[in-house]
Amino acid sequence: MGLNNSDFLDSRIKGHFTKREKIKPVHECARFIINDLLKSSGPLINELTLGARLGVNVNSLNDWQSFKESALSDFKYRGSFSNIWQLWWASELENWWAEKINSKKPLQLLKAAERVDLLNKKFNLNFSPANPIEDKYSTEYWTICQDLNRPLDAVDGFMIESNNRFAWQDELYINKKSTAERTYVRKGINIHQVEKDRLIEFLSEEE
């Protein structure tokens, strides 16, 4: 996994590399890494999710590339297949924020504008906060809308069905607007069964 210190890694993840105290065959370890770590948001997050958690729109920032490679390189994933998947350790992002930026309030509880303001002051940047999908939506982003690929606070979305198999993998969401307009259907996205009652209530209010 490319870690010098794996103490923060979920012990259940470590357990998937061994069987009866012996390391599993390489192909089994590789399959697990690809399917259950690299392809799913959880301990590792992709660039869009990284940007969302920092409150910035990574698609419109000229300084993002250099900032990402310098300031955020310490917790970038450098293990197997890192030449294909550009990912970062989620828990280490939060530790980095607490140590380098602001230890008084957890990153997740800050609005995008607050996060960006702190980043700009710390690193002399000119980032702008990512705009919400709808003006009334929360900007305490932590995930990405799977329909629009834009930052989203889960409170403004609905959980969708996914291939997640393990507790450490993040749930996936689409925003409420996509749900009302059913734009997600063409992408083969299905609303999670646990959201059924909440979805019915929401759609009845939209009519």
| Per-residue pLDDT, 16 | 83
As a whole-number percent, the residues of the chain with pLDDT over 90 amount to 68
Answer yes or no: is pLDDT of 20 > 80. no
* Distance set, CA 202 to CA 148, 185, 196, 199, 205 (Å): 20, 17, 10, 5, 5
Answer yes or no: is pLDDT of 207 > 70. no
| Per-residue pLDDT, 38 | 95
Bigger pLDDT: 7 vs 166: 166
Structure tokens at 55: 């409150």
Task: Give tens-digit pLDDT for 36-73.
Answer: 999 999 999 999 999 999 999 887 777 898 999 999 99
Residues 156, 184: contact at Cβ < 8 Å? no
Task: Give tens-digit pLDDT for 95-123.
Answer: 999 999 987 888 999 999 999 999 999 99
Would you place residue 149 in the very low, low, confident or very high pLDDT band (cuts 50, 70, 90)? very high
What is the three-class DSSP state of 169? coil
The torsion angles phi and psi of 178, rounded to 5 degrees, stand at: -60, -35
Which of 143, 141, 203 has its CA nearest to residue 178?
203
Bigger pLDDT: 129 vs 60: 129
Task: Give tens-digit pLDDT for 161-182.
Answer: 998 889 899 999 999 999 999 9
**Opening angle at CA 35, ends 79 and 19, nearest 5:** 80
Residue where the block lists tokens 């979920």? 10
| Per-residue pLDDT, 204 | 87
183-192: Cβ within 8 A, 24+ apart: 183/147, 184/146, 184/147, 184/160, 187/146, 187/147, 189/146, 189/147, 189/160, 189/161, 190/160, 190/161, 191/158, 191/159, 191/160, 191/161, 192/158, 192/159, 192/160, 192/161
pTM above 0.85, yes or no: yes
* Distance set, CA 184 to CA 43, 175, 191, 197 (Å): 26, 10, 9, 19
| Per-residue pLDDT, 163 | 85
| Per-residue pLDDT, 72 | 95
Structure tokens at 152: 């989203």
Answer yes or no: is pLDDT of 15 > 90. no
For the chain, the average pLDDT equals 91
